[in-house]
Amino acid sequence: MPQPAAPSRLPPVENRLLAWLRRAGLLDWFLPALAGMVGLAYLMPELGSEASPLPWDALTSGGVALVFFLYGLKLSLSSLRNGTRNWRLHIVVQLTTFLLFPLLALAVRPLFGGMQGELLWPSIFFLCVLPSTVSTSVVMVSMGRGNVPAAIFNASLSALLGIALTPLWVGLVLHPAGAGGTEGLGELALSLAWQVVLPVGAGMLLNPRFGEWAGRHKGHLRVLDQVVILSIVFTSFCESFAQGVFRSYAPATVALLGLGMVGLYFAVFGLVAGASSLLGFSAADRTTAIFCGSKKSLVHGSVFASLLFPATAATGALLLPLMLYHALQIVLASIMAQQFGRAALRAEAQPET
């Protein structure tokens, strides 16, 4: 006679904690791997720098195109059409992502003086003009019992708008090397077309045929995305370490930068929550606006850094605030999403008067 399965030896509280950590993505392998890539780049910068015999430029360029192709493959035109109805919510999220964040960065520009400030502020501004995340935004909205269909629509729309708006903001404010003249802008537009626009379009055209397959294998495809990001981060930091870009950054500076990223997150969080209340959003829509509007995408940041700032030693430094913000937004948003979810459950349990 078969023996019943042994009950879990972990106490119920620890079981719940592990389940929460998994849902929040805190037990995922990616964050430790990201730190590992930076450590490996520090130990062996010659492996991924321009001096490396490996064709990193070709590998990362092909990986970028593949990431955006797979993104388009998972994005259907019908889902975009169905998501256009809640237009006030969409406007709040997109204005937060592409206007509020950059304006906050521009507002604190006078605080960044000296050599370190001149290096740090462009990387913070670059973070602020990036699109929102897709998967993390949707997961957090779901945990907070928000409007999940609207979260999917806004995260997808943000990624598409970022193809145009992020390079536009960068070109207007940061003037990346090689994009100052007409020839440079033409090369940038061509690079974006080949590596971003065309792959996304090709993926969307193939969505009716292969979209269901992409949905079934989204876990494996996400790992492929993450591997490409890790390769971009590795080569960027290799070049930065090889050129000594980080020598002027003291540990205290990095710690203050981390505190600044926490402040940025809560500033946006509070402003979006206030605007949602003024506009009379439902609790579900308010949750969606907050968690979609406060995210920034490491995927797009890594890709755009390699496209907009090619072959520069400062690319690793450019990604430093984004990597800090990426880790902090997962931790902070997951905690707050749990609180929002519990509040929504309590509200649903109360009898109507």
Query: d(Cα 220, Cα 204) in Å, to the nearest integer?
Result: 19
Q: pLDDT: is 126 or 154 the higher one?
A: 126
* Helices (H), ranges, the chain: 12-24, 30-43, 56-73, 77-82, 87-95, 101-107, 114-128, 135-143, 148-173, 182-192, 198-216, 218-242, 251-278, 283-293, 298-308, 315-349
The pTM (predicted TM-score) of the whole model is 0.67
Residue 32 counted as domain residue: no
Residue 243 binned pLDDT confidence (cut-offs 50, 70, 90): low
Boundaries of domain holding 162: 54-341
Residue 11 counted as domain residue: no
Residue 117: how many CA atoms within 13 Å on its side-chain side? 8
Q: Tell me the per-residue pLDDT of 253-308, one tens digit each, with 9 for 90 and over.
A: 878 888 999 999 999 999 999 999 999 999 989 999 999 999 998 777 877 887 77
Q: Residue 310: which CATH number? A: 1.20.1530.20
Residue 84 binned pLDDT confidence (cut-offs 50, 70, 90): low
Query: d(Cα 239, Cα 237) in Å, to the nearest integer?
Result: 5
Whether residue 174 is predicted with pLDDT greater than 70 in this model: the reply is yes
User: Tokens at residue 279, please?
Assistant: 């506009």
User: How many domains does the chain fold into?
Assistant: 1
Residue 108 counted as domain residue: yes
Distance of CA 288 to the CA centre of its chain: 16
Q: Tell me the per-residue pLDDT of 298-348, one tens digit each, with 9 for 90 and over.
A: 777 877 887 777 655 556 677 788 878 877 777 777 778 777 877 887 877
Q: Tell me the per-residue pLDDT of 183-241, one tens digit each, with 9 for 90 and over.
A: 444 555 566 667 667 887 888 889 888 888 887 887 777 777 777 767 777 876 776 67
What's residue 183's pLDDT?
A: 43
What's residue 108's pLDDT?
A: 92
The average confidence (pLDDT) of the chain is: 77
Residue 29 counted as domain residue: no
Q: Tell me the per-residue pLDDT of 13-65, one tens digit each, with 9 for 90 and over.
A: 555 655 655 554 455 676 688 778 888 888 888 887 766 777 777 777 777 77
Residue 31 counted as domain residue: no
What's residue 169's pLDDT?
A: 93
Rg (CA), the chain: 21
- The answer to whether the CB of 86 falls within 8 A of the CB of 150 is yes
Residue 28 counted as domain residue: no
Residue 119 counted as domain residue: yes
